[in-house]
Amino acid sequence: MIKNIKDMTMPELASYVCSKLEEKNIEVVLSGGSCVEIYSRGDYTSYDIDLINRYNDTFFKIKSVMQSLGFIEEGKYFVYEGTSFYIEFPSGPLGLGDAPVEKIAELPTKYGTLKLSIHI
């Protein structure tokens, strides 16, 4: 049984959304502050989940999936009532600040597999 979205941790929520988008052939990769939070094991905290659309699928496709999951579009973010996290789909290219992405890692959770950018 799936945990309620509002009770998910940031990595669980990000992996859930990443996997649901992938089911519709939309590949996204976590980048930005939430990615740093995972790599720093919580030394840095972010409530902004940045998912970069790797192959520039139309925003309409992403919006459709997010709405089907119960998210509401508010400005540039998607929010889910009862959670403090907000999801954004910034335009690429995939990177962390000015650092290019060398590899993409995968973090499996019980809600799906989260793809994370790796900077070397």
Q: What is the model's pLDDT at position 2?
A: 63
Q: Is 90 exceeded by the pLDDT of residue 103? A: no
Q: Which of 43, 29, 17 is nearest to 119 (CA)?
A: 29
Instruction: Look up the pTM and report it.
Output: 0.84
Of the pLDDT bands very low, low, confident and very high (cuts 50, 70, 90), residue 96 is low
Q: What is the mean pLDDT of the chain?
A: 85
Burial class (CB in 10 A: 0-12, 13-18, 19+), 22: middle
Query: Quick one: tokens of 116?
Result: 């994370």
